[in-house]
Amino acid sequence: MATVHRVILSVFTLGVVVQFFLAGLGVFRVQGGASDSHFDHVFAPHRALGNVLFIVALLVLLAALVARLGRGQVLLGLVLALLVFLQSILANNGPSWVRALHPVVAVLILALAGSFTGRLWRAHRAAL
């Protein structure tokens, strides 16, 4: 089950990288202004993948619990799920300074996921 956890976390991390691409794609497609419906249309893939990543983060948490990987991996899964959930709140609510935290939290998510993914793969290779 540790292998399943490592692979799910890797998929999550790759998904976060794709999220950055989709956000950038959306930004450049609405450059110069856009109606609300056009804005919603160009960011729909980013929003959809964000919903999928929330589910994947829950799977990371579940895999860590089932595999009994220890407090660190369980907390990582919990923190990732909470941060991804927080992203939907930040992107859609509050004044602009609150919404501006959305990309900051995205960087934090990528840093956490990438760091732990790298550690798990290095530990796996060292054990071979």
**Residue with tokens 């202004």, as numbered in its chain:** 33
pLDDT, one tens digit per residue, over 30-83 is 766 666 677 778 889 999 999 999 999 999 999 999 999 999 999 999 999 999
Nearest to 58 by CA among 87, 79, 88, 89: 79
CA dist 66 to 9, 46, 63, Å? 14, 30, 5
Q: What is the DSSP letter of 113?
A: H
Are 54 and 84 contacting, i.e. CB atoms less than 8 angstroms apart?
A: yes
Q: Whole domain around residue 80: which residue ranges? A: 2-127
Number of domains into which the chain is organized:
1
pLDDT, one tens digit per residue, over 77-110 is 999 999 999 999 999 899 999 999 999 999 999 9
Helix ranges restricted to H, the chain: 2-29, 36-66, 71-92, 96-99, 101-127
